[in-house]
Amino acid sequence: MKQFSLAYSSCPNDTFIFHALAHKLLKADFNFNITIADVETLNKYAEKGRFDITKLSFATFGALRDRYALLRSGAALGRGCGPLVVSLPQKQLNSSIKRPTVAVPGLGTTAFVLFYLFIKESFPEIEPNIIPMPFEKIMLTIKDGTADFGVIIHEGRFIYKNLGLDCLVDLGAWWEKFTGLPIPLGCIAIKRDIYQNDPKVASMIQKMVKESIDYAFDNPKISRDYIKTHAQELDDSVIDQHIELYVNQFSKDIGDEGEAAIKIFLQKAQKAGLIEPNVEPLFVD
């Protein structure tokens, strides 16, 4: 049986999605050697071609489109699920602060690209000092005064109020108003040489990811221990909110609307000079 390396993030949406596949609860055509890491680490590994199949920020996928193709299953897209710009109370994000310090969860993340697009559209006179760091450290960095603002993702959107922070901008809501489309956050991508050598392999893996999602929804409690082993926040209500928000119909199949959102996102990132243009097809099919 063929072996492939598979990497995904430690966030509840990914461990929920891949639990059945990782624990061999499905009829499998392949074996997978699994690695779990935060998404920015996976973004950096992808630059070196470390994994055959990997979770990526859509921003990083755009930069590596010549090496990776998208699977239609396993992605994180949606509405009302975008990154948030947060700060301590009474602080405002406006043109009065010409060079604010902003903590972001990595320069390869969709969150950073969205923040960059928002700033250039809304406050072109601002030149932020960007500090990339692991996503779980951002809110503490704001609390201790190292950063003026932070772009938070994942579980952060459910707990920032508990840390006494205010939301200044919902970048997902801004994107939806700006484009009328769902926000493309993260994807599952496969190396193009695997796809090009045998397109059927990529289609079969795509099908297995969808089956793993279906299994997760049919058996929602069976993956809870696996999720908690890797989650940053262990509260069941936070985990439930996370999965409900980030695992949806787009996760099963990106679909036409999701594809349109991805294309617009990549076009805007290219126009902003954040990624290079590329004519390779997006998907494995």
Biggest alpha carbon distance in the chain? 61
Nearest CA to 11 out of 236, 216, 261, 233 is that of: 233
Angle, to 10 degrees, between the axis of helix 110-122 and the axis of helix 255-271?
60
Are residues 135 and 153 in contact, defined by beta-carbon separation less than 8 angstroms? yes
In the residue annotation, 154 being an active-site residue is answered as yes
Concatenated DSSP letters for 177-233? Answer: HHHSS-EEEEEEEEEHHHHHH-HHHHHHHHHHHHHHHHHHHHSTTTTHHHHHHH-S-
Q: Report the distance separating Cα 260 and Cα 152, nearest Å.
A: 25
DSSP-assigned beta bridge partners for residue 68? 191
Per the document, the length of the chain is 285
Concatenated DSSP letters for 107-137? Answer: TTSHHHHHHHHHHHHH-TT---EEEE--GGG
**Active-site residue list:** 154
